[in-house]
Structure 1
Amino acid sequence: MGADEKAQNKAEKLGGKVQEGLGKATGDREMEAEGQKDQSKANLKDAGENIKDAFKK
C-alpha cells in the first residue's frame, strides 16, 4: 500500500468520524449516516490495498 493511499484513507476515516460526530451532536441522522458511510468506504479501501500487498509478497 502506498503512502498516498494510506494518507487518503486515514483522512477519509477522520472526516467521516468528524461528520458522524457533528451529526450526533446536532441530531442530524443523515449527516451521521454519511460519516459512517465514509468510514466504511475507507475501511474497504484499506482492506483492498492490504489484499493487493499480500499478493505482491
Structure 2
Amino acid sequence: MGIADKAKNAAEDLKGKAKEVVGDVTGNDELKAEGKADQTKSSAKQAGENVKDVFKG
C-alpha cells in the first residue's frame, strides 16, 4: 500500500469517528453503528497493511 492508500484509510477512520459522534449526539443509533463499522473496516485495512510491511522489510 502506498501513501495514498494510507491517507484514504485515515480519512475513512476519521469519517467513521465523525459519524459515530454525530449519531451519538443526535440519538441516531444507525448512524452511530455505521461510524463504528467504518472505523472497523479502516482498522482491518491498516492491520493488513502492517502485515504486508513486515514481509517487505
> After superposition, what is the alpha-carbon deviation per residue over 1:1-40, rounded to whole angstroms, capped at 9, x for unaligned?
4111110000000000000001001000010000000001
2:16 pairs with 1:16? yes
Gaps in structure 2 of 5+ consecutive residues: none
Question: How many correspondences in the alignment?
Answer: 57
Cα separation, 1, equivalents of 2:56 and 2:23: 40
Give TM-score, length-normalised by structure 2: 0.95
Gaps in structure 1 of 5+ consecutive residues: none
Cα separation, 2, equivalents of 1:9 and 1:43: 8
Which residue identity is paired with 1:28?
N
Q: Which runs of 4+ in 1 moved over 2 A?
A: none
2:46 pairs with 1:49? no
RMSD (Å) for aligned C-alpha atoms:
0.7
Give TM-score, length-normalised by structure 1: 0.95
